[in-house]
């Protein structure tokens, strides 16, 4: 699988992936995390403009997408019911990871790529997103507490400090 920056030409493919992901989340008992139409086309354009959106390609087709942001994330300033494993080192945050299920191992592939950029990775998810919780914990993340999104929705926050690539910290 190949990871590359998202282009504006990819937006329709991403919208289809997110529509599929919303259907899957609803079928799994998590209908509210992304609600109807999230993320919107304007959000995708903003992510591309900021240079933080990526696609995963397999055999020339887009099968997944994610946002990876290096540096402080305002959403993570306040954590309740726990603490970050390390709150001093710089970190990268994975957001809006989704796939169309045509490829297996998307989360693992994304995580491996992200750890080449930064050894300190954070991620969060909705308490009803059992599929994502399973994947996050399977990849060795530690549950650190609860953070709140911009709309004050609670999310389970995780962090993984990798011994690999510590020279990148």
Q: How far apart are CA 55 and CA 50, in angstroms?
A: 15
Apex 131 CA angle, 141 and 113, nearest 5: 50
Q: List Cβ neighbours of 120 (8 Å cut-off, separation of 6 or more).
A: 86, 89, 90, 91, 92, 159, 160, 161, 162, 169
Give me the phi and psi of 160, to 5 degrees please: -135, 120
Distances (CA, A) of 86 to 24, 75, 119, 120, 165: 33, 16, 12, 9, 16
The confidence band for 164, taking pLDDT boundaries of 50, 70 and 90, is low
CATH code of 44's domain: 3.40.630.30
Predicted TM-score (pTM) above 0.85: yes
Paired strand residues for 125: 156
For the chain, the domain total comes to 1
> Percent helix, strand and coil across the chain, each rounded to 5?
35, 30, 35
* pLDDT on residue 32: 85
Residues 100, 64: contact at Cβ < 8 Å?
yes
The tens digit of pLDDT for each residue in 72-96 reads 998 899 999 999 999 888 999 999 9
Range of the domain at 111: 2-168
* pLDDT on residue 34: 87
Q: How far apart are CA 45 and CA 11, in angstroms?
A: 8
């Amino acid at each position: 699988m190949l990871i590359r920056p998202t282009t504006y030409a990819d937006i329709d493919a991403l919208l289809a992936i997110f529509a599929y992901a919303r259907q899957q989340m609803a079928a799994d008992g998590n209908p509210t995390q992304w609600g109807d139409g999230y993320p919107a086309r304007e959000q995708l354009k903003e992510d591309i403009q900021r240079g933080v959106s990526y696609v995963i390609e397999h055999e020339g087709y887009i099968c997944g997408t994610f946002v990876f942001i290096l540096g402080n994330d305002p959403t993570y300033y306040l954590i309740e019911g726990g603490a970050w494993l390390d709150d001093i080192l710089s970190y990268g945050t994975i957001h809006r990871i989704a796939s169309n299920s045509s490829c297996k191992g998307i989360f693992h592939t994304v995580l491996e790529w992200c750890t080449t950029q930064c050894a300190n990775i954070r991620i969060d998810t909705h308490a009803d997103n059992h599929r994502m919780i399973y994947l996050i914990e399977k990849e060795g993340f530690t549950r650190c507490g609860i953070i709140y999104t911009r709309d004050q929705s609670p999310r389970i926050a995780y962090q993984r400090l990798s011994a690999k690539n510590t020279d990148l910290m």
